[in-house]
């Protein structure tokens, strides 16, 4: 299990140091801002929808390693998916971090997002890991009020 934990830590560190899809998406047709007041994480999610498909997604912001890695991993996970598939991915991810369920059964279906499973042992960090996801939901809903984890 320690080898798996090390791999997950490497994934988080890699996505924090070299976040994927970290840019302003000039042709985005959906956008939302999010903020975690407890630790100061801030994120802006940019989405270009084509019908119900997430054709492109990007983010900008600054925050802790968990917040940045989660946003980076999220953009990779939902790019090319439908809005409904992205919402289902959020529900699975949120359940992974917040529900007392069989962790091993969930990890196999989560792909690289499973790297953040250890966050469930640190309840204060769950908000860091889910900020980008809540902000994505707001962007998909065209909500103009910034998302707050409080």
pLDDT digits (tens, 9 = 90+) for 40-91: 999 999 999 999 999 999 999 999 999 999 999 999 999 999 999 999 999 9
Confidence of residue 118 (pLDDT cuts 50, 70, 90): confident
CA separation (Å) from 76 to 51, 56, 88? 19, 10, 15
Query: What pLDDT, on a 0 to 100 scale, did the predictor assign at position 149?
Result: 86
Going across the sheet that includes 41-50, the strands are 53-62, 41-50, 30-36, 147-148
Q: Which CATH architecture has domain 2-148?
A: Alpha-Beta Complex (3.90)
pLDDT in tens, 105-117: 566 678 889 889 8
Would the pLDDT of 13 be above 60? yes
Q: Give residue 150's Cα distance to chain centre.
A: 17
Report d(CA 88, CA 52) in Å as an integer: 14
Q: Is 112 exposed, middle or buried (0-12, 13-18, 19+ CB in 10 A)?
A: middle
CB 45 within 8 A of CB 57: yes
Query: What pLDDT, on a 0 to 100 scale, did the predictor assign at position 99?
Result: 83
Report d(CA 145, CA 112) in Å as an integer: 30
Domain ranges, ordered by start, for the chain: 2-148
Return the higher-pLDDT residue of 8 and 88: 88
| Among candidate residues 65, 57, 66, the one with its CA nearest the CA of residue 85 | 57
Query: What pLDDT, on a 0 to 100 scale, did the predictor assign at position 68?
Result: 97
């Amino acid at each position: 299990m320690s080898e798996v934990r090390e791999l997950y830590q490497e994934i988080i560190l890699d996505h924090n140091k070299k976040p994927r899809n970290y840019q302003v998406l000039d042709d985005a047709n959906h956008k939302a801002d999010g903020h975690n007041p407890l630790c100061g994480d801030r994120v802006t999610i940019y989405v270009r929808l084509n019908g119900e498909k997430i054709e492109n997604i990007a983010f900008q912001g600054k925050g802790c390693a968990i917040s940045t890695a989660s946003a980076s991993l999220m953009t990779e996970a939902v790019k090319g998916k439908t809005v409904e598939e992205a919402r289902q991915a959020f529900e699975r991810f949120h359940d992974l971090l917040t529900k007392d369920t069989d962790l091993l059964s969930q990890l196999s279906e989560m792909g690289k997002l499973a790297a953040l499973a250890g966050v469930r042992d640190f309840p204060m960090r769950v908000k860091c890991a889910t900020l980008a996801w809540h902000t994505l939901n707001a962007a998909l809903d065209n909500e103009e009020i910034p998302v707050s984890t409080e």
